[in-house]
Structure 1
Amino acid sequence: MKKLINNPRHVLREMLEGFVDLHPGLALLEEEAVVVRAELPVPASRPVALLSGGGSGHEPAHAGYVGPGMLTAAVAGDVFTSPSTDAVLAGIRAAAGPAGAVLVVKNYTGDRLNFGLAAELAHDEGIPVEIVVVADDVALRDTVEAARRRGIAGTVLIHKLAGAAIAAGKPLAEVAEIARAAAADLGSMGVALGACTVPTAGKPGFALGDNEIELGLGIHGEAGVRRGPMQPADTLVAEMLDAIVSDRSLGRGDRVALLVNGLGATPPLELSIVARAALTDLAARGIVVERAWAGNFLTALDMPGCSLSLLRLDDARLALLDAAASAPAWPGGGRIGPKRRIAAPVPAPTAEVVVIPSPLADALKVAGLAVAGAFEKAEPHLTDLDSRAGDGDLGASMVRAAEAIRALPGTAWATPAVALKSVGDALRRAIGGSSGPFYATALLRASRRLSGVATPTPAAWGEAFTTAVQAIADLGGAKPGDRTMLDALHPAAEAFAAAVAGGKSPAEAWAACVAAAMAGTDATARMRPRLGRASYLGDRAIGVPDAGAAAVLVWLQALKPIIR
């Protein structure tokens, strides 16, 4: 187990101390794991207090929602363990006055027992308390009765509604009723792509195969309702929404708030894809999404996966969601505007130039398609090389290059200059990262060198090749010996030009070119990288040929049978 902790038994206190130190509006009780607003009025002047909590490991819940417009205090237990009755009672005493307190409790036995007993004890001390239980996990609809469902991420929306109601001056009973009614109109469901690791356990709570997922999981590292095969994000979202929409009897014209919640190890990239799928799916059902958020709201340590929550809205609830709140983890906003898709600017049209095809047109297309096929075949090799000294995307980039070349129209191969420019333009659009700009610039300059030449001589091809290589050096600032694609390109261009100047045939000159590129590529395995992402690895990159140089060798070799 690798975690940035000290003693596993001390993670709760150290986590809370660090969190409170970062947020000046919060304070931590000395003897209990309770976070409260730092400057509350004296008890007699306090409005209704709003408290929630539970086991740790769900960060930013629950302390992240302490602040004006949301919670007055949050009570934390050890990881995935309910806080004690005494801790909850200490929180009530620290946060509430005669106006009373609302406790928002997720529907787990330990939480209900400890918050419930603390409420009884607080009542004996003269503090009126109302309890709101959230049981939003619709995945359990066929497993247990509704009253026994778990409370999961949708609980955060109940914090927001109740906190806004308190800020609006509503009394205890009305705040509790608003929260209970909303909890009854709330549904959530989650999916896990893997397990989480509790610090004190030191190993994942369950094991999944490479192509397995858990559907309908809770938030404490437990397995889901059922295990199934991995599916595309759109399919998983549709399955979760089917369950929520059916269980909550949502239909065309209903208004909802959507919460896309990460479980701790899901990157924002994936959560945005899930949000896109959810918004598209709900629109197709005729359900109106008034507000939506995506991010980590109530997690399960380092679990990969997400949950979706839908809350039925009316004007009153919408106003409470929109009310100001400044808790550290509440993102605010959430407004859904009209979809905005605008066309990218296009250059002004130029006069069409009629290009007379060169005698080389067919051969140029054959050459281009040969390069495309070689890139596709080399994908695993290039991916492996790039993964060992880079980010692993070169193989996929070269496949996109191949697709772009195959998609070129017949007119793109009319002359050498047209073909080089067309391929350069296609690669510029198809390949991200550094390869796209390098190849596009090189091909553009080579195209200029051959402009107006229908059948270039071998020497002219050599000059164009040398011009292209220099363009890459100019753009990237590299030189031979820096362990880049130039370590294959530079010797290749020199060998071709020298062979042509020495009277060799084009085929013989190209064979010399390929041999020089092969030697240059092999030499990169012994070089310390000075530029590019591999330079971050220093000596650790030694022993593996440069992927960019290897890609150069792929297309040079692909042209060898064609050049005669």
Structure 2
Amino acid sequence: MRKLLNDPRGVVREMLEGQVDLNPGQALLRDEDVVVRASLPEPGARGVAVLSGGGSGHEPAHAGYVGAGMLHAAVAGDVFTSPSVDAVLAAIRAAAGPAGAVLVVKNYTGDRLNFGLAAELARAEGIPAEVVVVADDVALRDTVEPARRRGIDGTVLVHKVAGAAAATGLPLEAVVAEARAAATAIGTMGVALGACTVPAAGRPGFSLEEGEAELGLGIHGEQGVRRVALRSADALVEAILDTVLADASLGAGERVALLVNGLGGTPPMELAVVARQALALLRARGLVVERAWFGNLLTALEMPGASLTVMRLDDALLERLDAPTDAPAWPGSGRIAAARNLVGTAAAPVVETERPATPGGEAVRRAVLAAATALEAAEERLTALDSAAGDGDLGISMSRGAAALRILPDTAWAEAPSALLRMGEALRRAIAGSSGPFYATALLRAARGLPDAPGAGDWSRALTAAVEAIAEMGGARPGDRTMLDALHPAAETFAKALDAGRAPAAAWGEAVRAARAGAEATAVMRPRLGRASYLGDRALGTPDAGAAAAVIWLDALTPQFAE
């Protein structure tokens, strides 16, 4: 188990201490794991208090939602374990007064029992208390009756509605009614790509084979309703929304809010991909998405996965969602555009000329397509090499570059110099990171002075110019463990072989062998530039991915010099 913890038995208290330390609007009860608003008035001056809580491991829930406009207090149990009755009662005493308290509880037996008994004890002390149960897990629609479903991530929206209602000064009965209306307006379903590890257990709660996912899971590290083959993000989103919308009988013209929730181990990149498809599907089905949020809002430790909550809206619910709050974990207004905003970009016009391709241009096209095929075939290998000492994106970058070269129009290949210029433009746009600018600059420099029908000597000078351009731009030299360790010996060997009277094909063969030797030598070079330099000696043992890519496309050009 690898976790940034001290003693697992003390993790909840230490977590709450950090939470409160970072949020001056919150306070921590000295004797209980309860976070309350820091500046509550005297009990007699308090309005209705809204409380929630449950087991820990769902951060930022529940303490992250303590603040004006949302919760007055949050009670934390051990990881995935309901808090005690005494802890809940202490929270009620600390946050509520004669106006009473609303306890928002997720539909689990432990939470219902402990919060329910605490509410009874509070009533006996003269504090009116009502429990609102959230049961939004539609994955269980074919398994149990609606009242017995689990409460999961849609609970965050109930917190917001109940807190906003209480902030207006409404009496207890009215706040309870609004909270229950919010609870019945939501449906949620999730998918997990792996398990989480409870600190006290020290091992994952279940295991998945490669290519599997758990569909319809709760928030306590348990398995889902069923195990399915892992599909694309778009397909999983569609399967989830089909269930959520069918359960709520939501149809065209209705207004909804969308919550895309990460379960703790899913990066924002993936959540945004999920949100994109969810918005597209809801709109395609005629629903009006008034508000939408995404992020880690109610998690299951570090579980990789996501859930989707859809809330049927009316004006009253929308007003509560829009009400201000300073709760630190609330993700903002949720206001979105009615459709994706796309704007054009200014670019230098490309003037296409209708003229037949020269032999030089046709030769470039054949060579480039051969190089593109070779790079596409090597994507997996380049990804593995780049992952060992970089960020692992070179394989897909080279494949994107190859695809961009394939779709250049016929007019791009009219003659050799213009072909190189158009190739540079295509690679500049297709390849991000450092590879795109390096190759684009190299091609621009190589095109200078290149005749329309270049011979072997012209190509040699162009390759030398390209290598010099890369060196100037990146500040690298041979021996720094970069693509230059393949390109520089190739250019130098090709020029010397031609000067010695070798035939172009033989000279190019020598150049490729020199490039390959240079690339292999990078495995024992200590990197001096780029991401690999951050690893120091840990990068040793694996050839540089950029140098390996250069060898691949250099080798693919070999047949062109035999013609």
**How high is the TM-score relative to the length of structure 1?**
0.97
Distance, in Å, in 2 between the alignment partners of 1:477 and 1:300 is: 47
Distance 1:88-1:424 versus aligned 2 partners, 3 A rule: same
The offset of 1:418, in angstroms, is 1.6
Aligned length: 562
Aligned pairs for 1:221-236 within 5 A? 221-236=221-236
CA distance in 2, matches of 1:392, 1:63: 37
Q: Please give the alpha-carbon distance, in whole angstroms, between the structure 2 residues aligned to 1:378 and 1:137.
A: 45
The equivalent residue for 2:488 is 490
| Counterparts of 1:329 and 1:367, CA distance in 2 | 55
In structure 1, what is the Cα distance between the partners aligned to 2:412 and 2:60? 55
Asked if the contact 2:374–2:553 (Cα under 8 Å) also holds between the matched residues in 1, the reply is: yes
Residue 456 of structure 1 corresponds to 454
Matches within 5 A, 1:72-87: 72-87=72-87
Separation (CA, whole Å) in 2 of partners of 1:346 and 1:133: 54
Which residue in 1 is equivalent to 2:267? 267
Structure 1 position 193 matched with structure 2 position 189: no
Tell me how far apart the structure 2 counterparts of residues 460 and 267 of structure 1 sit (CA, whole Å): 49
Q: Is the 8 A contact 1:322 1:332 kept in 2?
A: no
- 1:361-409 per-residue CA deviation (whole Å, 9 max, x = no partner) reads 3322221111112112222222221121112221222222222222222
Tell me the residue number matched to 1:373. Answer: 373
- Are the counterparts in 1 of residues 442 and 469 from structure 2 also a CA contact under 8 Å? yes
| CA distance, structure 2, for counterparts of residue 417 and residue 542 of structure 1 | 39
Letter of the 1:439 partner, please give it. Answer: Y
Task: Indicate the residue corresponding to 2:144 in structure 1.
Answer: 144
Partner secondary structure for residue 344 of structure 2: coil
Match of 2:337 in 1: 337
- Give the Cα separation in 2 of the matches to 1:499 and 1:57: 67
Q: Which amino acid aligns with 2:510?
A: A
Change (3 A) 1:233 1:485: same
Letter in 1 for 2:100: G
1:24 alignment partner in structure 2: 24
Say which of 518, 521, 525 aligns to 2:519.
521
Check whether the contact 1:194–1:208 (CA below 8 A) recurs between aligned residues.
yes
Tell me: CA distance 1:389–1:160, structure 2 relative to 1, closer, same or farther (3 Å): same
Q: Tell me the residue number matched to 2:388.
A: 388
Change (3 A) 1:131 1:493: same
Q: 1:232-381 maps to which residues of 2 (within 5 A)?
A: 232-347=232-347, 349=349, 355=355, 357-381=357-381
Amino acid at match of 2:558: K
**Cα–Cα, structure 1 residues 349 and 484, in superposed 2: closer, same or farther, change >3 Å?**
closer
CA distance in 1, matches of 2:284, 2:118: 46
- Name the residue aligned to 1:437: 437
Q: Distance in 2 between matches of 1:412 and 1:468?
A: 20
Query: What whole-Å deviation, never above 9, does each CA across 1:243-265 have from its counterpart, x for those lacking one?
Result: 11111121111111111111000
Q: Does 1:554 align with 2:552?
A: yes
- State the distance in 1 between where 2:332 and 2:202 align: 36
Query: 2: distance between equivalents of 1:351 and 1:550?
Result: 35
Alpha-carbon distance in structure 2 between the residues aligned to 1:239 and 1:363? 50
Change (3 A) 1:544 1:321: same
Indicate the larger mover: 161-170 or 404-413.
404-413
CA contact 2:353–2:411 (8 Å) conserved in 1: no
Q: Which residue of 1 aligns with 2:500?
A: 502
| Cα offsets for 1:246-297 (capped at 9, x unmatched) | 1112111111111111100011011111111111111111111111100011
Preserved contact between residue 379 and residue 399 of structure 1 (Cα < 8 Å)? yes
Residue number in structure 1 paired with 2:510: 512
Query: Where does residue 471 of structure 1 map in the other structure?
Result: 469
Superposed displacement of residue 358, structure 1: 2.4
> Cα distance, 1:460 vs. partner?
2.3
Alpha-carbon offset, residue 417 of structure 1 = 0.3
Q: Is the 8 A contact 2:194 2:305 kept in 1?
A: yes
Q: 2:536 aligns with which of 518, 535, 538?
A: 538
Alpha-carbon offset, residue 490 of structure 1: 1.0
Q: Secondary structure at the match of 2:482?
A: coil
| Structure 2 gap ranges (5+) | none
Give the equivalent residue in structure 2 for 1:403. 403
How big is the alpha-carbon RMSD for the aligned residues of Structure 1 and Structure 2? Answer: 1.4
Per mean C-alpha deviation after superposition, the further-off stretch among 498-507 and 171-180 is 498-507
Could you report, residue by residue, the CA deviation over 1:310-334 in whole angstroms, capped at 9, with x for unpaired residues? 1111111111110100001002210
Q: 1:33 to 1:230 in 2, by over 3 A?
A: same
C-alpha displacement at 1:339, in angstroms?
A: 2.3
Q: What code does the residue aligned with 1:511 have?
A: G
C-alpha change, 1:519 and 1:421, in structure 2 (3 Å) is: same
Structure 1 stretch displaced more, 224-233 or 383-392: 383-392
Q: Give CA-to-partner distance per residue, 1:446-478, whole Å, 9 cap, x none.
A: 11231xx22224332222111111111111111
Offset at 1:351? 6.3
Change beyond 3 A, Cα 1:384–1:421? same
Counterpart-to-counterpart distance in 2, 1:410 and 1:338:
40
Partner residue in 2 for 1:202: 202
Determine what percentage of the aligned residue pairs are the same residue.
68
Q: TM-score, normalised by structure 2?
A: 0.97
What does the per-residue CA deviation read over 1:212-245, in whole Å, with 9 as the maximum and x for residues that have no partner?
Answer: 1111101011111111111111111111111111
Determine helix, strand or coil for the equivalent of 1:525. helix
SS at match of 2:70: coil
The list of structure 1 runs, each at least 4 consecutive aligned residues, that deviate by more than 6 angstroms after superposition, is none
SS of residue matched to 2:559: coil
Report what 2:62 is aligned to: 62
| 1:76 Cα deviation from its structure 2 partner | 0.6
Query: Closer, same or farther in 2 for the Cα pair 1:163/1:341, shift >3 Å?
Result: closer
CA distance in 1, matches of 2:520, 2:244: 57
Write the letter of the residue equivalent to 2:442.
A
Q: How much does 1:445 deviate?
A: 1.0
- Residues 150 and 218 of structure 1 are in contact (CA less than 8 Å); yes or no, is this contact kept in structure 2? yes
**8 A Cα contact 1:264 1:304, kept in partner:** yes
- Could you say if the C-alpha distance between residues 229 and 301 of structure 1 is closer, same or farther in structure 2, counting changes exceeding 3 Å? same
2: CA distance, partners of 1:242 / 1:366: 48
CA contact 1:101–1:172 (8 Å) conserved in 2: yes
Question: Alpha-carbon deviation of 1:169?
Answer: 1.1
Equivalent runs, 1:152-231 vs 2, <5 Å: 152-231=152-231
- C-alpha contact (below 8 Å) 1:58/1:300 kept by paired residues: yes
CA 471–15 in structure 1, closer or farther in 2 if over 3 Å, else same: same
Shift in alpha-carbon separation, 1:340–1:176, aligned structure 2, 3 A: same
Partner of 1:131: 131
SS in structure 1 opposite 2:560?
A: coil
Q: Secondary structure at the match of 1:562?
A: helix
For the 8 Å contact 2:214–2:225, the answer to whether it is kept is yes
* Secondary structure of 1:219 counterpart: coil
Q: Which amino acid aligns with 2:554?
A: L
8 A Cα contact 2:352 2:411, kept in partner: no
Query: Structure 2 vs 1, CA of residues 5 and 348 (structure 1 numbering), >3 Å: closer, same or farther?
Result: closer
